[in-house]
């Protein structure tokens, strides 16, 4: 009996180790799925690669550039309180990105000396949006409570109608969804060229910010890695899941061709594959699979590809109004139909009622005075029967209720008391 118990425990230990080992970036698989579903994507990607090669060749000597700031919106889609990560956690992730993409991370000193001359300040930084698509002030964070416990790697998290949250215009914002991704995926991103409804970055809630809820992917580098894909970087082993035949490349001259991903922090320098000696795999590069404490840098060649994306297929981000200063949107507008909102002040439940004979279809959201979205419900049918909005978990203070129908808009200030 003891031997049987030991055997079961040992097999469980091995199985759990395999699950942890297989936690990975889902970008390659997601891109391959799209190539199969959309035959035109291959041609789009070919055009983007041709532009990238041309732009990098023409601009390789241009070292006097302005630092580019990317407007970011983070959509927190949560099923449990643990998944509903804090604003502070989100802000810590933005700080990590700004350090990593500017080459200002403290652990950059860990880069092996043979590669220190390749370390790049990518001249890219990030900021949470201050202006939402409707022209209202925002803190760049939306929060959506969902009945979906795990998305199983699905892009349904990007659809309000399926329990997720629709993207803000992808031409103006880099959309990041933080959720329980599932399927052993740390995160994934689509490279330039995909449809706007899919474009953006998805990160598991356990791996977002610093420190995160993970013991190994705990320094926010999952986002650093996935945003590299968003700006058109590949893994060092190319677009597939591995490169056993050593025939694929990432189209970056200063990163060595490698056989496949390097996991954990156990790979000693040099780790030679694909005849890439004497220095071997660039295991400390952000686009490899090492644990967060073991990946430190982008190269100048990777920087050039990302800047090509920003000056090409992602150029619209440079003209975004997402970082403008916008009004809070507190003006009271009245719908042509009579809408009753009560009580005010409120402590537990806010009720919305319409006097229309037929139900009024409207989108409802609650925002605080900083512009932070607290609640978002789409396609709510308002009628004689009152619709209840649970505000029992909100702090005391003043909020704005926004009710938007196809033709009309109501914004209504209300107070929560405790």
User: Which string of DSSP letters, residue by residue, matches 241-254?
Assistant: S--TTS----S-TT
Q: Taking a C-beta distance cutoff of 8 angstroms, is the pair 114, 276 a contact?
A: no
Which residue out of 226, 259, 373, 402 is catalytically annotated?
226
DSSP element (H, E) containing 11: helix 2-21
Residues 218 and 292: their CA atoms lie apart, in Å, by 6
For residue 164, what are its two tokens? 């997720």
For residue 135, what are its two tokens? 């022209």
Q: Taking a C-beta distance cutoff of 8 angstroms, is the pair 158, 198 a contact?
A: yes
Residues 120 and 54: their CA atoms lie apart, in Å, by 20
CA nearest neighbour of 23 among 187, 176, 265, 235: 187
- Provide the pairing of β-strand 349-354 with 201-204: unpaired
For residue 71, count CB atoms less than 10 angstroms from its CB and return exposed for 0-12, middle for 13-18, buried for 19 or more. Answer: buried
CB neighbourhood size of 276 (10 A): 19
DSSP element (H, E) containing 189: strand 185-189
What residues contact 152, with CB distance under 8 A and at least 6 apart? 182, 183
Tokens 């150029």 belong to 315
| 3-state SS, one letter per residue, for 87-126 | HHHHHHHHHHHHHHHCCCCHHHHHCCHHHHHHECCCCEEE
- What φ, ψ does residue 229 adopt, rounded to 5°? -65, -45
Q: How far is the first Cα of the chain from the last one, in angstroms, to the nearest whole number?
A: 58
- Number of residues written out for the chain: 418
CA nearest neighbour of 178 among 164, 197, 160: 164
User: DSSP secondary-structure letter at 21?
Assistant: H
Q: Is 226 among the residues known to form the active site?
A: yes
Residues marked as catalytic? 226
């Amino acid at each position: 009996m003891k031997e049987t118990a030991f055997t079961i425990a040992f097999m469980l230990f091995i199985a759990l180790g395999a699950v942890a080992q297989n936690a990975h970036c889902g970008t390659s698989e997601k891109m391959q799925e799209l190539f199969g579903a959309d035959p035109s994507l291959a041609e789009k990607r070919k055009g983007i690669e041709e532009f990238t090669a041309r732009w990098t060749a023409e601009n390789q000597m241009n070292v006097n550039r302005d630092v580019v700031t990317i407007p970011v919106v983070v959509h927190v889609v949560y099923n449990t309180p643990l998944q509903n990560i804090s604003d502070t956690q989100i802000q810590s992730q933005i700080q990590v990105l700004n350090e990593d993409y500017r080459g200002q991370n403290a652990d950059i000193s860990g880069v092996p000396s043979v590669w220190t001359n390749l370390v790049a300040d990518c001249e890219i930084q990030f900021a949470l949006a201050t202006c939402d698509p409707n022209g209202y002030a925002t803190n760049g964070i939306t929060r959506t409570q969902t009945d979906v416990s795990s998305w199983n790697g699905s892009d349904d998290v990007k659809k309000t109608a399926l329990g997720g949250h629709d993207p803000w215009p992808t031409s103006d914002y880099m959309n990041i969804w933080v959720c329980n991704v599932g399927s052993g995926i740390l995160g994934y991103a689509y490279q330039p060229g995909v449809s706007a409804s899919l474009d953006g970055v998805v990160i598991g809630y356990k791996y977002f910010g610093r420190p995160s809820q993970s013991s190994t992917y705990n320094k926010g580098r999952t986002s650093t890695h996935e945003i590299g894909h968003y700006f058109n970087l590949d893994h060092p082993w190319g677009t597939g899941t591995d490169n056993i035949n050593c025939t694929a490349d990432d189209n970056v001259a200063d990163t060595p061709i490698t056989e496949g991903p390097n996991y954990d922090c156990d790979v000693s320098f040099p780790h030679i594959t694909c005849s890439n000696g004497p220095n071997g795999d660039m295991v400390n590069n952000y686009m490899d699979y090492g644990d967060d404490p073991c990946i430190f840098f982008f190269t100048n060649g990777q920087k050039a590809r990302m800047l090509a994306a920003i000056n090409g297929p992602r150029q619209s981000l440079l003209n975004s109004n997402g970082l403008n200063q916008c009004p809070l949107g507190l003006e009271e507008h009245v719908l042509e139909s009579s809408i009753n909102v009560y009580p005010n002040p409120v402590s537990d439940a806010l009720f919305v009622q319409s006097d229309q004979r037929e139900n009024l279809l409207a989108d409802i959201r609650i925002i605080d005075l900083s512009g932070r979205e607290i609640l978002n419900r789409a396609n709510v049918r308002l009628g004689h029967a009152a619709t209840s909005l649970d505000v029992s978990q909100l702090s005391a203070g003043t909020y704005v209720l926004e009710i938007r129908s196809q033709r009309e808009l109501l914004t209504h200030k209300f107070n929560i008391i405790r």
